[in-house]
Amino acid sequence: VKETFSRIEATDEQLEAFLTLNEEKSLEMAKELDAKGPSSDKPLAGIPIGIKDNIVTKDLLTTAASKMLYNFNPPYDATVMTNLYGANMIPVGKLNMDEFAMGSSTETSYFKKTKNAWSDKKVPGGSSGGSAASVAAGQIPASLGTDTGGSIRQPASYNGIVGMKPTYGRVSRFGLIAFASSLDQIGPMTRNVEDNAMILNAISGHDVHDGTSAKKEVPDFTSMIGQSMKGMKIGVPKEFMTEGVNPEVRKSIEEAIETYRELGAAVEEVSLPHSQYGVQVYYIMASSEASSNLQRFDGIRYGYRTENISNLEDVYVNSRSEGFGEEVKRRIMLGTFSLSAGFYDAYFKKAGQVRTLIVEDFKKVFKDYDLILGPVSPTIAHDFGTDKDNPVTAYMRDILTIPVNLAGLPGISLPCGFSEGMPVGLQLIGNYFEEEKIYQAASAFE
Ligand code: GLN
């Protein structure tokens, strides 16, 4: 733990991954564990982990990278935190992200610009950019991220690490600052597959505090690691390998397909015809849910309150106008618009119908295949500022990750090559609650 803090001190001025450090408490915990001696039933004991800053941590600043929560010290721990403490892991600090997890580059953070671990000209991806860059730069062995439309997998891919978005309901959302409740899921980000599976072991399970958490037994996610790929059937959606995907990225994915064939898997082309509408569906649904979830930030209950007050309305309007950044306001406006009486049928309702078609496409493929394979992102990490004046360009980057969230399926990002010196990510998508199979295939590739 000491080494972790000295590594962070030596590198974070440049990387800017951390928002808050938990040094004193971490060293105290480590000392206590040292005194107790090694424990055979807690393989993760004493291992440092970083936490995305939208996961609430008792008495440790939790900002969601927003001015709105610049001074928020939560009175309780998220369930994932309680679980990590149960495994005796040591949460060393809170990691930078896009404000309220809205973005794909971590540039919408109110506080700082995290760099990609491979190049300080490139974004780390997002919204879990701090969680990815920190692990890739060797500051910490593992972190937690959150994924609503790709925010674990895409930054994992941009930084060359392993990032897992579990099945919706696998991991409790209690204490995760809600963005889009029907899509949000917490997951591990690590440098290798086995570490990832071990952390998912620690954070998974039913939770009475989250009504959407699944009453499913939690298997040992490492149990199939090392097993042969013979007999495994993998589908590659033709919609994931189009001209819109950078040719070098496509080449890396084709090489990965070859590797799987050599390992004994059958790899065939499949189709997810409605996935092309995923981005449109997602930005309507996620923004609608966000506009509702973010109503609680009213200048009274949490965080930032304006000083500019002459009546009650000013408290709400000015606190929100001053406390939220541009992207968050754009989502709230999009969301309230698509939920409003005159437009609900044409937008929110229609989006829900198309979402069902996207889900059905996946179900059909999983009748015949064990896994779906494709790129995580159509491109490698881009330069800072690229999307500044064009939010829609940024939204289109999520085209290959969003369908997985809309369907609630598990998906992983794995490093599979390089283009222009930057990492490329391979995505493996599994059927509901079949994370072990994903880890099996991921480790075979590794
Ligand atoms: N990039 C997507 C968005 O901006 C995904 C975010 C996420 O998964 N949290 O909404």
Q: Model confidence over 243-272: pLDDT tens digits?
A: 999 999 999 999 999 999 999 999 999 999
pLDDT tens-place string over residues 109-137 = 999 999 999 999 999 999 999 999 999 99
Distance 127 CA to ligand 1 centre (A): 6
Average pLDDT in the chain: 97
The answer to whether residue 393 scores a pLDDT higher than 90 is no
Q: Report the C-alpha gap between 163 and 121 in whole angstroms.
A: 22
- The CA-atom distances, in angstroms, between 258 and each of 85, 234, 253, 422 are 41, 12, 9, 21
Residues 188/83, Cβ–Cβ less than 8 Å? no
The helix/strand/coil state of 384 is: coil
Provide φ and ψ at 136, rounded to 5°: -65, -35
Token pair for 213: 């958490």
Whether 103 lines ligand 1, by a CB cut-off of 6 Å, is yes
pLDDT of residue 52: 99
52 is catalytic: yes
Contacts of 349 (CB under 8 A, 6+ apart): none
Q: How far apart are CA 435 and CA 385, in angstroms?
A: 36
Q: Which two tokens stand for residue 72?
A: 């928020």
Q: What is the pLDDT of residues 355-379, one digit of tens each?
A: 999 999 999 999 999 999 999 999 9
d(C-alpha 107, C-alpha 112), whole Å:
8
CB 405 within 8 A of CB 277: no
Contact status, residue 381 vs residue 124, Cβ threshold 8 Å: yes
Separation CA 167–CA 135 (nearest Å): 23
Q: CB-based burial of residue 119 (10 Å sphere; 0-12 exposed, 13-18 middle, 19+ buried)? A: middle
Residue 148 CB less than 6 A away from ligand 1: yes
ipTM, interface predicted TM-score of the complex: 0.97
Which of 26, 66, 127, 204 is flagged as catalytic?
127
- Annotated active-site residue 151? The verdict is yes
pTM of the predicted model as reported, rounded to 2 decimal places? 0.98
The best mutation among 127, 147, 287 to test binding of ligand 1, ranked by most ligand atoms within 8 Å of the C-beta, falls on: 127
Cα distance from N-terminal residue to C-terminal residue, the chain:
27
Among 55, 102, 326, 328, which residue has the most ligand 1 atoms within 8 Å of its CB, making it the best to mutate? 102
- Whether 134 is a known active-site residue: answer no
**DSSP label of 39:** -
Q: Give the active site residue among 151, 204, 319, 377.
A: 151
Which protein residue has the closest C-alpha to ligand 1 atom 5? Answer: 149
Check whether 38 has a pLDDT greater than 90. Answer: no
294 pLDDT higher than 90: yes
For ligand 1, is residue 127 a contact (CB within 6 Å)? yes
Position in ligand 1 atom list of the atom nearest CA 150: 8
Instruction: For Cα atoms 352, 148, 418, give the angle at the middle one, nearest 5 degrees.
Output: 125
- DSSP per residue, 90-129: EEEEEE--SGGG--SSSTT-SS--PPBTTBTTB---SSSH
